[in-house]
Amino acid sequence: MRAVVTGGAGFLGSHLCDRLIEMGYDVLCMDNLSTGSTDNVAHLLGNSRFRFVKHNVVDYLYVEGPVDAVLHFASPASPIDYLEMPIQTLKVGSLGTHKSLGLAREKKARFLMASTSEIYGDPLVNPQPETYWGNVNPIGPRGVYDEAKRFAEAMAMAYRRYHKMDVRIVRIFNTYGPRMRPNDGRVVSNFIVQALQRKPLTVYGDGSQTRSFCFVSDLVSGILALLSAPASEEVATPFNVGNPEERTVRDLASKVLELTGSSSRIETRDLPLDDPHVRCPDITRAKNILGWRPQVGIDEGLRLTIEYFKKMAAVPEIASRILS
């Protein structure tokens, strides 16, 4: 079995590469390194079952030899990234998805794409089931990511219907764990790095907005359960994958302070435009059809993530990015 993973040197993509190899796949990892890093896959570079190619999937996509699965995970995924790279985000969601689908069609491969909870926007329904169509501002600053993923889902389903392809879509909710970038702007990495720096933890708004946090190993297990499921009408529509345990952002900040033993205080700032007030997945379909549910609790997951950042801080060339 051979898999192509676009965005494979990113936070999620690199963990997928690890697990696919464990499952017996040969893996071709593609990444233009705009937000990914070869550090995330350095441990795989000597593995005969792994190959890394620096490539932008917005461009022509050619792979020699057979391919059994294409996993399309290329995209900026944190607000700090897609707000700095709005055009690139729209391109990878449209042109990159088109090229990846074309590769899967050519190779008669199974196609799985990373969508996002952001397609629900600032939801008026909580928790969010896959049947909810969302509340998205298409011309707001976050629209470049929201609409890129909504378009990508539409294109994937068009390929399924028109070309009779085996297509799967995973809507990923907030995920955290080792290999997050310290400066990626996500709330978990922000809080941990600020706590380790003994700087104030920045909470936007009053901190009452809710999120659900899924540890990366659980998230990858859910993705691979979807990839491995037999083809059927049930698996051909999107699946929410995330942790349904909902908590406020302020509660998360307090938890990080507790687990790091930091003396940092919590500091509030204005809420960004279109920032969702609630975000929590309904994972009924994933539980019933895929037999998947998260296993790692928030305390265990945060401890593992904190340890990762502490180890990074012990590396001289990285320490300045974390503890300066």
Residue owning tokens 């401890």: 303
- Kindly state the helix (H) or strand (E) to which residue 110 belongs, with its residue range: strand 110-116
Neighbours of 62 (CB within 10 A): 9
- Kindly state the helix (H) or strand (E) to which residue 269 belongs, with its residue range: strand 266-269
Nearest to 112 by CA among 280, 218, 239, 283: 239
- Kindly state the helix (H) or strand (E) to which residue 170 belongs, with its residue range: strand 167-172
Rounded CA-CA distance 172/9 in Å is 18
| Cβ pair 111, 159 in contact under 8 A | yes
Nearest to 73 by CA among 102, 19, 114: 114
Q: Which residues are catalytic?
A: 145
Going by DSSP bridges, is the β-strand pair 266-269/201-204 parallel, antiparallel, or unpaired? Answer: parallel
- Cα dist. 127→73, 122, 160, 164, 192 in Å? 25, 12, 28, 32, 27
Helix 249-260 vs helix 298-313: crossing angle, to nearest 10? 60
Nearest to 98 by CA among 19, 162, 36: 162
